[in-house]
């Protein structure tokens, strides 16, 4: 048996949508971009959306369009995919890490204020694994200190905090659509905002600095090629048309896991904090703190031997070689994030994963736990 870690759900309507674009001359900068942007902004409840070629590009444009630059500091989390910190460095600003809450795995908002300095320009919270941050507390801190908020919601489209969609709390929010995400465009991302000036600037920046209404070879500013093709956008439009059904399927898969893994002493299940609607991006369990990284690695090896793909989400950003060298981080800098990272196991998770396969994964995990304890 072979059970992959992640797989996109592509149906016949998705294929037809892409083929329809291929029969037109508009493979890029065509009408599907606007259609996709309108679908996403309508769904999350913002005035504007700017489609780009990746979530990383969306984060970079959000930082740049916010005026964050050399010497500025941005508070963020060390427990995330590396793009959420790299996008700050792209603009010669400095990521200032805050340790995570041991329950939600998101940035611990109670520790943010002690990291604020006169150089602090923004807070960049990450809704890790589709679990919303406590955005009211973060907004309160930001307002008190006159800081920008940029939400990394790349893993969290459809998630909500206190009945409000994530990505809509700050100046900008970013979603990503890599094939392992809730919906996919193959490669792609999108920035949502209620600020027209920011949206217009990002549309220029994504297209080599051209004015949206300007001539092809007229460049008003330094920009980038962060465009999303109409081929990708068409796939996004098709996927957005059934996003609620997709999210419901993922919720059902998560519920199967929750049921089959309930009451296992050695593991902690993913959190579902109060007043939140989780958007299930991945299903990540944690071993209890008494178990070590060597136990986790042994369990992953045993699962992989049985054809079950799994991952260790996420190695802490601050312990990546580049960050160690550039900023002098070392083990012990953010103990909660480090402890969690050594005990996580991402289990196979995608829309059409059957309960039979989930049972096989869970039974194999239980066998592996028995093995390390024997």
- Tell me if 192 sits within 8 A of 172, measured CB to CB: yes
Q: Which of 181, 215, 249, 292 is catalytic?
A: 181
Q: How far apart are CA 207 and CA 225, in angstroms?
A: 5
162 is catalytic: no
Helix (H) or strand (E) holding 101: none
Burial 67-85 (b: 16+ CB within 10 A, else e): ebeeebbbbbbbbbbebbb
Helix (H) or strand (E) holding 148: strand 148-152
Q: How far apart are CA 35 and CA 68, in angstroms?
A: 30
Q: Which SS3 state, helix, strand or coil, does residue 304 take?
A: helix
Q: How far apart are CA 23 and CA 18, in angstroms?
A: 9
Residue of 284, 163, 330, 175 whose CA lies nearest to 239: 175
Report, as residue numbers or ranges, the catalytic residues. Answer: 181
């Amino acid at each position: 048996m072979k059970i992959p870690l992640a797989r996109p759900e592509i149906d016949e309507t998705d294929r037809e949508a892409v083929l329809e674009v291929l029969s037109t001359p508009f493979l890029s900068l065509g009408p599907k971009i606007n259609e996709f942007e309108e679908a996403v902004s309508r769904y999350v409840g913002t005035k504007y959306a700017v489609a780009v070629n990746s979530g990383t590009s969306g984060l970079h444009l959000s930082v740049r369009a916010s005026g964050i630059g050399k010497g500025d500091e941005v508070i963020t989390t060390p427990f995330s995919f590396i793009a959420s910190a790299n996008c700050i460095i792209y603009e010669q600003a400095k990521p200032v890490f805050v340790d995570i809450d041991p329950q939600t795995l998101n940035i611990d908002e109670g520790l943010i204020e002690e990291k604020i300095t006169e150089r602090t320009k923004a807070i960049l919270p990450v809704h890790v694994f589709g679990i919303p941050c406590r955005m009211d507390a973060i907004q309160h801190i930001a307002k008190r200190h006159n800081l920008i908020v940029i939400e990394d919601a790349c893993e969290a489209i459809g998630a909500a905090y206190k009945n409000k969609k994530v990505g809509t709390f700050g100046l900008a929010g970013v979603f990503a659509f890599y094939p392992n995400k809730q919906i996919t465009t193959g490669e792609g991302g999108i920035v949502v905002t209620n600020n027209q000036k920011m949206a217009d600037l990002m549309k220029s920046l994504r297209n080599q600095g051209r004015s949206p209404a300007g001539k092809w070879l007229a460049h008003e500013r330094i920009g980038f090629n962060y465009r999303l093709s109409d081929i990708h956008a068409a796939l996004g439009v098709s996927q957005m048309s059934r996003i609620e059904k997709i999210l419901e399927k993922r919720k059902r898969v998560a519920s199967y896991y929750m049921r089959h893994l309930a009451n296992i002493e050695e593991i902690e299940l993913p959190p579902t904090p109060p007043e939140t609607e989780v958007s299930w991006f991945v299903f990540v369990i944690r071993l209890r703190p008494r178990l070590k990284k060597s136990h986790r690695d042994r369990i992953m090896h045993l699962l992989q031997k049985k054809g079950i793909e799994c991952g260790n989400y996420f190695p802490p950003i601050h312990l990546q070689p580049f960050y160690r060298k550039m900023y002098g981080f070392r083990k012990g800098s953010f103990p909660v994030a480090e402890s969690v990272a050594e005990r996580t196991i991402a289990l196979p998770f995608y829309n059409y994963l059957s309960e039979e396969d989930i049972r096989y994964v869970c039974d194999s995990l239980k066998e592996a736990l028995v093995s390390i304890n024997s």
